[in-house]
Chain A
Amino acid sequence: MDPVALALANALVGNPAEDAALEITVIGPELLFEEDALVAVCGAEFQGGFPRNRPVMVPAGGRYNVGRAVRGARAYLAIAGGFDIARVLGSRSTYLPGAFGGFKGRSLRHGDVLPVNPQSAALSRERFKRLKRTRERTVPWSAPPHTLPDREPIVVHVLEGQHHADFEPAMQRMFLDTVWRIAPDSNRMGFRLAGPAVTRAAVDEILSGPTCLGTVQVPPSGAPIALMADHQTTGGYPKIAEIASADVPRLAQLAPGGQVHFAKCTLEMAAELRHHTKEQLQAALRGISWEYGS
C-alpha cells in the first residue's frame, strides 16, 4: 500500500527493494525475536515506542509490542535478509481475497512463527557493524518520513477520469469541494469514501473497462471508491477521477475516519509529481547507502 515506506524499511536494513517485509495496519502485533535481528520500521507511527525510520539491532529474545497507530495507518517492518517468503505470480505480497501469496495467503495470527532468511542473524550483525555511525543499538540519524500526513485533510491530486464528463458540472465540483472521510469498510482493495452522494445524470450501464491503482469509481450508491493495491483489473462503474500515482502512498496512510480532499491536476503535473517523489526517495536511499559505507 505504501511502497515508499517499504522501500525505506528494506534499505535501512541493507535489503534489496523487493524483499518481503511486514505490513502492519492500524493495530500491530507483539513480536518476539528468537535471534539477533537488524530491524527497521517505517511508515505510520505506532504507540510501541520502537525507534522509527532507522536500523535497530534487536538482540535474541527481544520483544516489541507494536500497539496502535497514532499517526498514519500502515507501518512496514523489514528485517536484514528479509522474511523467507516464496514468490507467487512474481510477488511476495499477500492477496487476501484469493487467499494466496505471502504467509499462507492470510493475515498473521497469534502464535505464528515467521520464517526469515536463514542467514538473517549473521547478516544482521555484519550489517550493523558496517554502519558508519551507531549509538547503542541504533544510529544517531533517521530517514525522513515521506508519506505521513502532517495534518488532515490531506490533499491528493487527481486527473479527470474516463467518465468525468458523464457527471454534471455540479457533481464534478462537489467531488472536488468535499472533504471525504475514509469509511470503516475500506481495505487493501479499495477505500470507500464517505460524504455526499455523487450521482450521474445518465443511468445507462457502462461497458466494463480496465481499472488501475488510484482509479476513483462511483457505484450506483454514490459513495466513491478509490482503488488501492489489491484492486481488480477491470470494473463496470463509471470512473470520475484517477489519483496521481505519487499521491497514492500518502492516501494509503489514512486510517478509517481519515480525511482527504481532492485537487485537480493535469497529466503533466502528475508526471512531474511522480518524478519529484522518485528523486526524493532516491536521495534518501543514497544517504542510507552512504551510512553503510557503500
Chain B
Amino acid sequence: MARTIRLMGVVPLGDLAAYVEFSRTLDLEVNALVQRLAVAVQARGAPFIRDVVPALGGLALHFDPEFEGNCVAVAAELVELCLKEGISTSADVLRTVQVPVCYEPEFALDLQEISQKTGLSREEIIERHSTGGYRVLMMGFAPGHAYMGGLDPRLAVPRRATPRAVVPAGSIAIANEQTVVYPYSISGGWNVIGRTPLTVFDTERQEPSLFASGDRVRFKPIDRAEFMKLAAKR
C-alpha cells in the first residue's frame, strides 16, 4: 500500500516566497512527491507565482513582487488544492541522461584518497560509480548544478574538510550518498572522481541545462582518447 506523506508545514522565506516542507531528512519517496507536486503547482499557472523550486525535502514557491497578500497562506492553499486533486503516482515518464565520464587520474583528483578511506581499489570505485542508477533530486547551487541520489553506500565519504578554490568544469564528484557534476569552474568541497567532456550548462542551447529535476542519470566510463574527441566537438 502506498505510504501517506504528510505536509510538515509552510514557512515564509521572506515575504515573497514560501517553503512547503515535507521532510527534514533525505527520503527518496518524499523527493519524488516533491518533484511531481512542483510540476502540478507550476501547471496551475497562478499569475502571482514567479517560480517553483523543488528541493530535497520540500519546494519553494516564489511570488511576483507585485503580489499583494500573505505568501504563506496563499502557498499553503495552492499546495493543498494540488494535493487534494491528487498527484499522479503512476510511473513517471522520465528522461535518462547518459553522461560519459573519464575516470583517468588527471581528472579524478580525489580517487586515491577515496580508495584509502573506503578500502576499495580504484577499479572497484569506478565500477560501483558507473554501474549505479542515479536520479536528479534537486537543482541548485549554480545554474545546471544537479544533486543526484543513488550513490553506492560503500562510496559514501564526507565532503572534503577544505573546499577546493577551483573545481574544473565538468568534474564528477561525490559526497555522502550523492553525486554531482560541476557545471562551471567554481569552488567546491566534493570529492572529484572524474570529468565529463559534455557542456553541462549552455544558455545558447534550446534546453540550457543538461539535467532537470527528476531525470534518471547513468555514467558511462570513457578513456582519455574518447574524452578528447568528445571535448573537441563542443
Residues of A whose CB lies within 8 Å of any CB of B are: 3, 88-89, 95, 97-101, 159, 162, 207-215, 232-235, 239, 242-246, 267-268, 270-271, 273-275, 278
20 contacts between A and B (CB under 8 A): A88-B203, A97-B184, A98-B183, A162-B11, A207-B25, A208-B56, A209-B55, A210-B19, A210-B58, A212-B14, A212-B60, A213-B16, A215-B13, A235-B140, A242-B12, A242-B14, A242-B15, A244-B15, A270-B14, A274-B16
**Once the chains bind, are A209 and B19 in contact (CB under 8 Å)?**
yes
CB-CB under 8 A from A88, the residues of chain B are: 203
In this assembly, does B47 line the interface, its C-beta being within 8 Å of a C-beta of chain A? Answer: no
Q: What residue of chain B has the Cβ atom nearest to residue A213's Cβ?
A: B14
**What distance in Å separates the Cβ of A291 from its nearest Cβ neighbour in chain B?**
24
**Once the chains bind, are A271 and B11 in contact (CB under 8 Å)?**
no
Instruction: Report if A234-B13 is in contact (Cβ < 8 Å); known contacts: A88-B203, A210-B19, A210-B60.
Output: no
Chain B residues with a Cβ closer than 8 Å to the other chain, count:
41
Instruction: Report if A98-B12 is in contact (Cβ < 8 Å); known contacts: A209-B57, A234-B139, A271-B69.
Output: no
Residues of B whose CB lies within 8 Å of any CB of A are: 11-17, 19, 21, 23-26, 53, 55-60, 62, 65-66, 68-72, 138-143, 147, 183-184, 186, 201, 203, 208
**What distance in Å separates the Cβ of B42 from its nearest Cβ neighbour in chain A?**
14
The distance in angstroms between the C-alpha atoms of A101 and B203, with both chains bound, is: 9
**Once the chains bind, are B203 and A100 in contact (CB under 8 Å)?**
yes
The distance in angstroms between the C-alpha atoms of A239 and B24, with both chains bound, is: 14
Interface of A is mostly: mixed
CB-CB under 8 A from B59, the residues of chain A are: 210
**What distance in Å separates the Cβ of A4 from its nearest Cβ neighbour in chain B?**
11
CB-CB under 8 A from A210, the residues of chain B are: 13, 17, 19, 53, 55, 58-60, 140
The distance in angstroms between the C-alpha atoms of A211 and B11, with both chains bound, is: 12
The distance in angstroms between the C-alpha atoms of A100 and B199, with both chains bound, is: 14
**Once the chains bind, are A245 and B15 in contact (CB under 8 Å)?**
yes
**Once the chains bind, are A97 and B16 in contact (CB under 8 Å)?**
no
**Beyond the given A159-B15, A210-B60, could you list 18 further A-B residue pairs with CB under 8 A, ordered by the A residue number?**
A89-B203, A89-B208, A207-B24, A208-B56, A208-B147, A210-B13, A210-B17, A210-B19, A210-B59, A212-B13, A212-B60, A213-B16, A234-B53, A234-B138, A239-B13, A246-B15, A267-B12, A270-B15
Q: What residue of chain B has the Cβ atom nearest to residue A101's Cβ?
A: B203
**What distance in Å separates the Cβ of B181 from its nearest Cβ neighbour in chain A?**
15
**What distance in Å separates the Cβ of B151 from its nearest Cβ neighbour in chain A?**
15
**What distance in Å separates the Cβ of A232 from its nearest Cβ neighbour in chain B?**
5
Partner among B26, B62, B66, B203 whose Cβ is within 8 Å of the Cβ of A207: B26
Partner among A3, A89, A98, A211 whose Cβ is within 8 Å of the Cβ of B184: A98
CB-CB under 8 A from B68, the residues of chain A are: 271, 275
Most chain B C-beta atoms within 10 Å of own C-beta, residue among A159, A211, A213, A239: A211
**What distance in Å separates the Cβ of A270 from its nearest Cβ neighbour in chain B?**
4
**Once the chains bind, are A271 and B15 in contact (CB under 8 Å)?**
yes
**Once the chains bind, are A214 and B14 in contact (CB under 8 Å)?**
yes
